[in-house]
Amino acid sequence: MGIGILCSGGDCAGMNPAIRRFVDKCINENTQPYFIYDGLSGMIDGHIKKASHTDVSGIIHKGGTIIRSSRSKRFFEKKFREQAFNNLAKNNIDKLVVLGGDGSFRALKQFYDDFGVKFVGIPATIDNDVNLTEYCLGVDTALNVIRSAIDNIRDTASSFRRAFVIEVMGRECGYLALVSAITSGAELCIIPEIEPNMNNLEKRLSNELNAGRNYLIAIVTEGTGKTETIKEWIENRLNLDSRISILSHIQRGGNPTVYDRLMGFEFIDFGLNTLLKNSMPNGVVTYKNGYFSMETIDKVVSGKYRIKENILKLAYKMSGI
């Protein structure tokens, strides 16, 4: 029997290194690896093929995923899940590895409940919002892409005496904005986890501008929906010309950093070892305090990811706290 790998949801750098390691390790363990192209949709439509060393040669430095990704509303219907199961059976696949986030893991848990197909989840999302793991694949590369963009924007901001409101990805989790703001020396940080005190911010920033500051950098998580509001606030309360830069999908791309390449290898190694031993049929690989572990999907989806308090505290001044 073989093992299939698929990507589901948003892509991220680090997926290709993980795919490379998946193929190499399966072959080393005398297990046939399979690619499932186009995520859950591809599993429904039978976009499945055997994988070999040749398929993964020269991919480790590439961003995104060579097997592509998707989201699938059809997978919510059992008739399409049954179609997906039949496609796996035709290819003698009885185990799966999925690179994705909470939604992907929930989908595979339902698939396991329906048909008993064992799986391991690898957290791969730049939002870094999967419960019980401190790190998700792709985050380091995304942070470096954001850092580079902020550094470049700061040059223009200082040249024109302007404020720039930079919107980064993140739905209910402000990890990207928070870490980017801290490490880039931003003056404002707006994230879902902290309610900003705009009066305190106005006092502090007004004093800094009166003392000679001539530009501002504000980092905003897209999920707060406050990007335009912060721009208007800066212009109306601080009397500083302001521009918005939405980084959008550039955050998902780019060559994987060394750290994301290594983490891709280690996530896959730990997950496949567990899957091949049949010690946990529906687990998610997590990383915490420098160690990998396996958690049941029920535990992972039962709670919400929380940013460490010591990191949140570093952003208090930028939020007016």
List the CATH number of the domain containing 298. Answer: 3.40.50.450
Q: Annotated catalytic residue: which of 38, 102, 127, 140?
A: 127
Cα–Cα distance for residue pair 130/136, rounded to 1 Å:
7
Is residue 316 one of the residues assigned to a domain? no
Q: Quote the CA–CA distance of 52 and 112 in Å, as a whole number.
A: 26
Q: Provide the residue range defining the domain that includes 81.
A: 2-138+256-302
Answer yes or no: 127 catalytic.
yes
Q: Are residues 118 and 247 in the same domain?
A: no
Is the domain of 181 the same as that of 62?
no
Q: Which amino acid is at 46?
A: G
pLDDT for the residue 280: 85
- Please write the tens of the pLDDT for every residue from 139-157: 999 999 999 999 999 999 9
Do residue 112 and residue 58 come from a single domain? yes
Res 24: pLDDT: 98
Q: Give CA–CA dist 12/264, Å, rounded.
A: 11
* pLDDT at residue 50, rounded to an integer: 98
Instruction: Tally the domains of the chain.
Output: 2
272-318: pLDDT as tens digits: 999 999 878 899 999 999 999 999 999 998 889 999 999 999 999 99
Q: Extract the residue ranges of the chain whose pLDDT is less than 50.
A: none
* Rounded Cα–Cα distance for residues 285 and 295 (Å): 6
Residues 133 and 277 in one domain: yes
Pair 225, 123 in one domain = no
| Same domain membership, residue 147 and residue 158 | yes
Helices assigned H by DSSP within the chain: 15-28, 39-45, 53-56, 78-90, 102-115, 139-160, 175-184, 198-210, 227-237, 258-277, 297-302, 309-313
Q: Let me know whether 214 and 269 are in one domain.
A: no
- My answer on whether 281 and 228 are in the same domain is no
**Residues 121 and 154 occupy one common structural domain:** no
CA dist 170 and 142 (Å) reads 11
| Cβ(216)–Cβ(234) below 8 Å | yes
Q: Distances in Å between the alpha carbon of 27 and those of 23, 210, 272? A: 6, 65, 12
